[in-house]
Amino acid sequence: MVAQEGTSDVPGGSRGTAGPSVRVAPGPDIGKAPTVEPDGGATLLAWLARMRDECPVWRDEAGNAHLFRYEDVQRVLADPATFSSDTVGRLSGGERQAPRGTLLLLDPPLHGKMRRLVSRAFTPGLISGLEPWITDLTGELLDAAGSDRFDVVDTLANPLPVTVIARMLGVPEADRDLFQGWADQLLSTDPEDPESVRRMEATGVTISAYLQGFIDDRRRRPQDDLLGTLVRAELDGERLDDEDISSFATLLLLAGHITTSVLLGNTLMCLDQDPGLFERVREDRSLVPAVIEETLRLRPPFTRIERVTTAETELAGARLAPDTLVHLWLLSANLDERFFEDATAFRPERSNSRQAAFGHGIHYCIGAPLARLEGRVALNALLDRFLRIEVDPDVRLTYHGTNVFGARHLPLVVKRA
């Protein structure tokens, strides 16, 4: 089982890489928010709990606002008129604009038009139709793990969603190692380090150059994959340009894959804390969807997202000026004791499962049904093959250093069925 360090209220079994976790959470007087590294989130989680109680709206040293309570986060997500997603345009004074394919950064009415367009690839029928192939692919990936010890991230959690997205887009599934390398580079970006930002921008240029060949091919030879759909699509009588298409494809390749990858690892970390629950789920597969949902609540793949105020507004008693960057802590909202009973406990049977991992409102994650499907299929496949699954107690885990809440690698010790 995953051993917890320091504090006893770390949900989902965080295990760090250096020293015991901080027992007393830092307060609102610090300049920057804690990160998931180096202790697997113990310090961050304790800080978030303190901020929910003591400082629901906090200003960091850069003047940005941070929100921690469930109701406040949901209010912002439900009000795109007051809280814009266009962090690129508004924070640059309108000097830069995000490509139309970057759904996460678009506001109405353009967002609605783009979302309706790309939603054609994410209908319930199309997603459910992928299940037999995803099941076969999952089996092949797990069968390739020949020993009773393997890293589930390298073996399954990374290659599965990358391969699925590649197939949907219509790019070679054999190039998934390329996609993984790009994702690792972008996820390691430190926005305050100019050299790190430069590497991120260079990676973006590389991805665009890779995709351009497939976009050109779809213009010459129409196909029914997602790239082909985007090439043929029109908005207000205009075709999407290459940058729009490339931006959306990049979003799917990176954000789509990390969501499922982290979800699967986090699910196993949660089950690792309760062998009795693991056995119950193995015997009763009807519990699998609830386990996936509770994992998303307790350990959401992304700790926070951002919005920008469009006008002066009041939020939780604080006045925010126009063009204020607001960090919405999804992780904190999901652990808000004001909304979830026994919030830090892993309880798949809880009646209130309105977690915020996939957002809320018009920007609710378009790929959420696919992530849930992949997580369900993968967990069922693991339960089919193994009588016991344990996170290797001899390995100290390392975690993503950005706002991704998950382990970079998750070594397992298994007993085969």
pLDDT digits (tens, 9 = 90+) for 245-299: 898 888 887 777 889 999 999 999 999 999 899 999 999 999 999 999 999 999 9
Q: Which domain holds residue 188?
A: 42-416
Residue at 25 is within a domain: no
Average of per-residue pLDDT values in the chain: 88
Mean pLDDT of 334-339: 97
Per-residue pLDDT at 189: 73
Asked if residue 309 is part of any domain, the answer here is yes
Residue pLDDT, tens place only, 216-229: 999 999 998 889 98
Which phi and psi angles does 346 have, rounded to 5°? -85, 100
- For residue 108, what is the DSSP state? T
Any domain includes 17: no
Q: For residues 322 and 404, give the distance between their C-alpha atoms in angstroms, rounded to a whole number.
A: 28
Q: Is there a domain that residue 304 lies in?
A: yes
Q: Is 197 a member of any domain? A: yes
Domains of the chain: total? 1
73-120 pLDDT, tens digit each: 999 999 999 999 999 878 777 666 667 668 888 999 888 988 888 887
Nearest partner of 333 among 289, 297, 366, judged by Cα: 297
- pTM attached to this predicted model: 0.91
d(CA 14, CA 399): 10
Domain assignment present for residue 131? The answer is yes
Answer whether residue 320 is part of any domain. Answer: yes
Q: What is the mean pLDDT of residues 387-412?
A: 93
Look up the CATH number of the domain holding residue 131. Answer: 1.10.630.10
- The pLDDT assigned to 101 comes to 66
Q: In this predicted model, what pLDDT tens digit does every residue of 189-243 receive, in sequence order?
A: 776 678 877 888 888 889 999 999 999 999 999 998 889 988 988 777 878 889 8
CA 349, chain centre distance (Å): 23
The amino acid sitting at 73 is V
Residue 10 has a pLDDT of 53
pLDDT at 185: 78
